[in-house]
Structure 1
Amino acid sequence: MSSTVTVSNIGGPRLTLGFDRFERLDLDRHLAVHGKLYAPVLDDLVKLAEQVDMRGRGGAGFPFARKLLAVAAQITSPEGASELLPGEAADRRRSHEDAVVVVNGAEGEPGSSKDKVLLTRAPHLVLDGAVIAATALGTQRIVVAVENDEAARSVRAAIAERAMPARVVRLTERFISGESGSVIRAINGETPIPPGVKVRASESGVDGFPTLLSNTETFAQLAVLTSLGPDLYASAGTEDEPGTTLLTIGGTRVVEAPYGTPLQTVLDHCDVPPSQGVLVGGYHGMWLDPQAVSRAVLSRKGMKAVGGTVGAGIILPLSQGTCPLGEVTRIASYLAAQSAGQCGPCRLGLPDVVRTLTALSDGSGSIDDVRRAAGIGRGRGACSHPDGTAKFVLSAVDAFGADIEMHRYGGSCGLPVFGVLPLPVPTGAEGRVAIDWSRCDGHGLCAYLVPELIQLDRHGFPVVLGSDVPSWMERDVQRAVAMCPALALRVTSSMPGASARRS
């Protein structure tokens, strides 16, 4: 994937240093560009991270020093364990070698490419960061979790060059694959979905041991910080948020920019034409209208001031000429199908969000219906997916008010849906529920069997949700197809132009 992504920088490269000369930095090139690895002891590393308030670059922005300390608090030498209270000793008698460092290279969001770029072009910088953290924690156990074949090959080659005891775990490419619980479960050989209950990786992660898990860019930033030192590292960025960060613009352009850079400067750097709005933070992020874009600054504080977020550094401009509400509905439908189906907010809440957006698009719904659907279950999901999706939808309602008004009163804004927001390329394995109306008699059994996908209208006839069938619903859908008294229910391929198939 990195071969199709353009990489550039604003204000000078750090993470992308050497990219202008080399397509990929092998070990010799890495040492020539970044120098020899320096690994501080735990206390010094924590001070370094605290001095520049280093935050994770995976979206949540959690302080890295606190993650380090949380793992360190769980590991103790056998001698130290004897000082614990009797009830604590059994749980905490873990040596430093038990700790695990996990590089989360799962980039399941379609609009993000920055971690793949790092893993394919600068894998040794990422491994340096992982080794630095592992050394501080007194362990050699390092796992790199990736979704992309090219990234997996690059990391394995880098590990072989260094002859280090690390392993690569290949993850399934799904939107929720990057959630920390999903990554841990995948490494442990379990179903790669969020665990459904709050489990801190620092307490029980890989194989049940204390685990430090951060995303790819975070470890690369850690390597740059230890190499430059806090003062030089802080020479870029703002006083509150030192350093640079990687951004993915439009899914195909990766830019390294200092914190404090105006968002419009980044868009101009990428030759992005004026747009109807810009999504910041990805599909769990927030929409900014053109006025907010002109005032937005690349930092947590600057984005918050205009109602946005930096998140995982994903910036998706919505070009002129496509229907904003149609694009938002298209992505909400994708997000509903990507859920793990573990809780009510995902199983029923997200499909309801899609239905209300669809109704709003054709003029039969209301903004209040969308807000109600998005608000149900907020904060009660098994993971952050329903909340993130709700945030995406609600910010769109605010950003595209004029377009929505046209839909409400005219049933359309007059613009087609070009599908400019990136989604995974269909493989043909996806399926959607369809109804043969020449056969349907309105028995309603399908709505009873799969209420997540089918509901009845006021006349008792089924209304089908226009989204792919989630993997966790495939068995229920097959059952509904088989039990339809009129043999009217079918599953069709979601690929354009594909023929229908009975299931």
Structure 2
Amino acid sequence: MNNLPVRSMASDLPEVRPFGLPRLTAGMDMAARLDWTTHLSVHGSLPDLTLSQLTALATDIDLRGRGGAGFPFARKLRAVADSARKRRTRTAVVVNGCEGEPACRKDTVLLARAPHLVLDGALLAAEALGAEQLVVGVTQGALEESVRGALAERGLSDRRGRRLRARVFRMPERFVSGEATALLRAADGGPPLPPGRRVRSAERGLSGLPTLVSNTETFAQIAVAARLGAEYYAATGAPEEPGTVLLTLGGSVPRRMVVETPTGVPLAHVLESCGTGIGQGVLVGGYHGAWLDPSAASMASISRTSMAAHRATLGAGAVLPLSYDVCPLGETLLVARWLAAETAGQCGPCRLGLPALAGALADVLAGGGQPALETLRQYAGLVRGRGACKHPDGSARFVLSAVNTFTDDLAAHVLGGGCGRPVAGLLPLPTEDGPSVGERLSVDWTLCVGHGLCADLLPEAMRLDRDGYPVFDDAPLPEYLLPRARRAVARCPALALRLERR
């Protein structure tokens, strides 16, 4: 049932649990990875659908992208087809499996354990659109191995002369790798970074072709719907948003897991079934998402409509409750620092704004009072809507949501001596299994006299306090900052600034 050894699977695969009859996760209780034969025995053969039939199916089930933006899949299909018709050219299909956010693992589970279901949906779209290229983007070696094995089992390859050339492409494990524009740029031989300008992939994407880009779960969903038909697909879930959804549960849950649940199920029920409660709040949508306070979380259900009513979104499907025994703003600060280090370093809102935003939150937690809080809100306003990609907007939304949700904790830090609760690192980060290793800034305070040159040379990582002395985070510097950090060390007039590896 599995032609790849289990040891080659992604090392951090969580437990998988379906609520009700499984669809996307069907067969995962039988095998670590569903090979071609097992896949067909579980799901059956895939019907042939024309472009009009596929578009009608996606419309009837109101299929939206499951990667964060929630864009209607049918509209993407039409846009690519219309562009190809106007230009009289072929098309391309790209599966975005670059799950760069450590809080999300649903797409990783699909690519590692059910790659043929994802390829089914991608091939349905490729056939309907007359695509000449199919690319699957991933960030982990184990997923690359799994997808490459699935392509080989189907007899698909990137050899010239084939009607459809298919390949898997490896991206760096970075947050911005999940940006569709970064994936398209890298797949064409460019840097794995967003281009810094608006790009309509439906008009000009991979190799300049009109390109359909969607995430892993979206393609798996259309493959399930194609087999079931719209009516039977809609027999599960909320009437206005039929079907199931994959969620990654983390935070205060006893163990991380990926669950498949019908839409419309109360959020509190999902959490209780997984051994936890709402706690002091629930982060939905991941690190570009929003926090729900206990009142909102107790009323919310797993649907776009319900989440929107509480000014939240399911996004990429991460759900992270926090228990009462940790400092929620301290947990938020850890993620804010990581988000600041994950920038592409291409524009001011990312390169300067996000480190400043994380620093302002640190000042609030350190007892900076109302001035620090006002500075934080000012920085959040300055980065929103001005970035080369959506990373600054999402990061600012995440931080502001925490400040607006955990008001009691905020008051304890702003007006008093802090909440007194520890920071346990419950929100998953790449360093959660051990201390992060890398080059960090340090200052010999017996030598520093507050020249401030370091903050001028390295504003992304250093700022000055009210007395003119440098303030910085005890975290590894991102790779793109290291050359300027070394220059700042070399130019320190008092020889007080240093880089240490630990």
Using the size of structure 1 for normalisation, the TM-score is 0.92
Instruction: Tell me the residue number matched to 1:292.
Output: 296
Instruction: Tell me the residue number matched to 2:3.
Output: none
Compute the displacement of 1:441 (Å).
2.4
Indicate the SS of the match to 1:255: strand
**2:124 pairs with one of 118, 132, 138:** 132
Instruction: Tell me the residue number matched to 1:324.
Output: 328
Compute the displacement of 1:197 (Å).
0.3
Structure 2: distance between partners of 1:39 and 1:473? 51
Which amino acid letter does the alignment assign opposite residue 72 of structure 1?
Answer: A
Structure 2: distance between partners of 1:70 and 1:485? 58
**2:480 pairs with one of 462, 472, 482:** 472
Compute the displacement of 1:139 (Å).
1.9
Q: Structure 2 vs 1, CA of residues 271 and 404 (structure 1 numbering), >3 Å: closer, same or farther?
A: same
Indicate the SS of the match to 1:278: strand
Of the structure 1 ranges 409-418 and 463-472, higher mean CA displacement relative to structure 2 is found in 463-472
Is 1:254 the counterpart of 2:258? The answer is: yes
Compute the displacement of 1:75 (Å).
1.3
Which structure 2 segments of 5+ residues have no match?
Answer: 1-9, 158-165
Compute the displacement of 1:205 (Å).
1.3
Which amino acid letter does the alignment assign opposite residue 419 of structure 1?
Answer: G
Instruction: Tell me the residue number matched to 1:482.
Output: 490
Compute the displacement of 1:407 (Å).
1.0
Instruction: Tell me the residue number matched to 2:162.
Output: none
Structure 1: distance between partners of 2:121 and 2:427? 33
Compute the displacement of 1:8 (Å).
0.8
Compute the displacement of 1:136 (Å).
0.3
Structure 2: distance between partners of 1:279 and 1:221? 24
Instruction: Tell me the residue number matched to 2:30.
Output: 21
Which amino acid letter does the alignment assign opposite residue 142 of structure 2?
Answer: E
Structure 2: distance between partners of 1:489 and 1:276? 40
Compute the displacement of 1:72 (Å).
0.8
For each residue in 1:385-417, what CA deviation from the matched residue of structure 2 results, as whole angstroms up to 9, or x when unmatched?
111011101111121100111111223211111
Is 1:265 the counterpart of 2:296? The answer is: no
**Contact 1:295–1:306 (Cα < 8 Å) also in 2:** no
Which amino acid letter does the alignment assign opposite residue 423 of structure 1?
Answer: L
Using the size of structure 2 for normalisation, the TM-score is 0.92
For each residue in 1:166-204, what CA deviation from the matched residue of structure 2 results, as whole angstroms up to 9, or x when unmatched?
111111000111011111112112111111100111112
**Contact 2:13–2:109 (Cα < 8 Å) also in 1:** no
**Contact 1:319–1:420 (Cα < 8 Å) also in 2:** no
Instruction: Tell me the residue number matched to 2:5.
Output: none
**2:341 pairs with one of 337, 347, 369:** 337
Structure 2: distance between partners of 1:133 and 1:304? 29
Structure 1 stretches of 4+ moved >4 Å: 426-429
**1:377 pairs with one of 380, 383, 387:** 383
Instruction: Tell me the residue number matched to 2:241.
Output: 241
Identity across matched positions, percent: 54
Which amino acid letter does the alignment assign opposite residue 287 of structure 1?
Answer: W
Is 1:424 the counterpart of 2:433? The answer is: no
Compute the displacement of 1:369 (Å).
2.5
Structure 2: distance between partners of 1:4 and 1:196? 33
**1:8 pairs with one of 9, 17, 21:** 17
Indicate the SS of the match to 2:79: helix
Is 1:119 the counterpart of 2:95? The answer is: no
Instruction: Tell me the residue number matched to 2:47.
Output: 38
For each residue in 1:248-302, what CA deviation from the matched residue of structure 2 results, as whole angstroms up to 9, or x when unmatched?
0007200001110110111012111452211000000000111111101111111
Compute the displacement of 1:467 (Å).
4.1
Indicate the SS of the match to 2:242: coil
Structure 2: distance between partners of 1:331 and 1:406? 20
For residues 63-462 of structure 1, the aligned pairs below 5 Å read 63-76=72-85, 92-94=87-89, 96=90, 99-165=91-157, 166-250=166-250, 252-366=256-370, 367-425=373-431, 430-462=438-470
Of the structure 1 ranges 451-460 and 130-139, higher mean CA displacement relative to structure 2 is found in 451-460
**Contact 2:268–2:278 (Cα < 8 Å) also in 1:** no
Q: Structure 2 vs 1, CA of residues 406 and 424 (structure 1 numbering), >3 Å: closer, same or farther?
A: same
For each residue in 1:68-113, what CA deviation from the matched residue of structure 2 results, as whole angstroms up to 9, or x when unmatched?
111111213xxxx7xxxxxxxxxx242x2xx111110000101111
Structure 1: distance between partners of 2:206 and 2:66? 21
Which amino acid letter does the alignment assign opposite residue 218 of structure 1?
Answer: T
Compute the displacement of 1:442 (Å).
1.9
Structure 2: distance between partners of 1:57 and 1:339? 23
Indicate the SS of the match to 1:19: coil
Q: Structure 2 vs 1, CA of residues 64 and 173 (structure 1 numbering), >3 Å: closer, same or farther?
A: same
Compute the displacement of 1:236 (Å).
1.0
Structure 1: distance between partners of 2:31 and 2:460? 50
Which structure 1 segments of 5+ residues have no match?
Answer: 82-91, 499-503
Of the structure 1 ranges 151-160 and 406-415, higher mean CA displacement relative to structure 2 is found in 406-415
Compute the displacement of 1:432 (Å).
2.3
Structure 2: distance between partners of 1:56 and 1:208? 23
Q: Structure 2 vs 1, CA of residues 69 and 123 (structure 1 numbering), >3 Å: closer, same or farther?
A: same
**Contact 1:337–1:467 (Cα < 8 Å) also in 2:** no
RMSD of aligned Cα (Å):
1.6
Structure 2: distance between partners of 1:451 and 1:4? 38
Structure 1: distance between partners of 2:277 and 2:264? 22
**Contact 1:194–1:382 (Cα < 8 Å) also in 2:** yes
